[in-house]
Amino acid sequence: MTTPLRLVLWDVDGTLLNSRFLILETMHEACRQERIACPSASLVARGTGLPLADMVAFVLPDYDAAVHQRVAVAYRRIFPALREKGDGHDRLFPHIRFVLDDLRKQEILMGLVTGMGRRGVLAFVERYGLADYFVTVGTADDGPGKPSPFLVLQAVRQTGAERKNTVVIGDTSFDMMMARAAGVSAIGVAWGNHDVSGLWQAGAEAVAEEPAVLPALIGRVLGRGQE
């Protein structure tokens, strides 16, 4: 009997990559350049995971669309420059590479579904030598962002996996909502930007407290789809 394709779709920022400080510093620098008040760290964390335009509107609710647009333009310019400086503001979370290796050995397909632009994603996978791990990559440049199911459904079509054998792994409620809207499973991670309670409320089937437990959780969740 042929084993069905299994697909794990990863969020990037806050799930694979510890980039919270980089995102916060980028947002604050964009606001400083526009001479407006900087949002709090907690507010920026809660907005992380949304498409950039939506994130800016979320963290700057007292400003109009024109200001939001200027801040978003500044953010896009500042973010790659700060990342390129390589001051240790972003790095893979501990044990993540071992998890990716484990899943690849099990012949589980993997992909990325992220609010980052394609240029940023390509820079990320090149910087950390991860290009060979992912067979599909969905970015903010491809279509509607989270919590829309678009990127997940695109990945399912591209890989040929069935939705019942697909799981999204992410750190925000937007990731969980995206997965549920697409009709796939969802696993939250506790080391990212959103509170664990919010992950459960948004539809997580499980929440990983540390990366090392992910292979077992993924196996359990994907195993249900094959019953």
Neighbours of 19 (CB within 10 A): 23
Domain range enclosing 172: 7-16+93-224
Question: What integer pLDDT is reported at residue 226 of this predicted model?
Answer: 55
Calpha distance 176→44 (Å, rounded): 18
14: left (phi over 0), alpha (psi -120 to 50) or beta: left
For the chain, residues with pLDDT lower than 70 are 1, 86-89, 224-227
157 & 61 share domain: no
Cis peptide before 4 (omega within 30 of 0): no
129 & 199 share domain: yes
- CATH code for the domain in which residue 213 is found: 3.40.50.1000
In a domain, 192, yes or no: yes
- Cα distances (angstroms) measured from residue 23 to each of 65, 90, 98, 132, 171: 21, 9, 25, 26, 15
103 & 212 share domain: yes
Question: Which of 35, 65, 85 is at the close of a domain?
Answer: 85
Q: Are 93 and 16 in contact (CB under 8 A)?
A: yes
Question: Which of 60, 85, 110 is at the close of a domain?
Answer: 85
In a domain, 213, yes or no: yes
Which secondary-structure segment (H or E) carries 136?
strand 136-138
Tally of CA atoms within 13 A in the half-sphere of 133 that contains its CB: 24
Question: What integer pLDDT is reported at residue 88 of this predicted model?
Answer: 56
161 & 201 share domain: yes
Question: What integer pLDDT is reported at residue 81 of this predicted model?
Answer: 86
174 & 118 share domain: yes
109 & 68 share domain: no
Question: Which of 40, 67, 85 is at the close of a domain?
Answer: 85
67 & 118 share domain: no
In a domain, 2, yes or no: no
106 & 76 share domain: no
158 & 192 share domain: yes
In a domain, 1, yes or no: no
107 & 155 share domain: yes
Query: What pTM, to 2 d.p., does this model score?
Result: 0.92
Which residues have a Cβ under 8 Å from the Cβ of 147 and sit 6 or more positions away?
173, 174, 175, 177, 178, 181
49 & 113 share domain: no
Side chain identity at residue 206, one-letter code: A
102 & 66 share domain: no
Q: Convert the pLDDT of each residue in 52-102 to its tens digit.
A: 999 999 999 999 999 999 999 999 999 888 887 766 567 999 999 999 999
Provide the domain count of the chain.
2
In a domain, 106, yes or no: yes
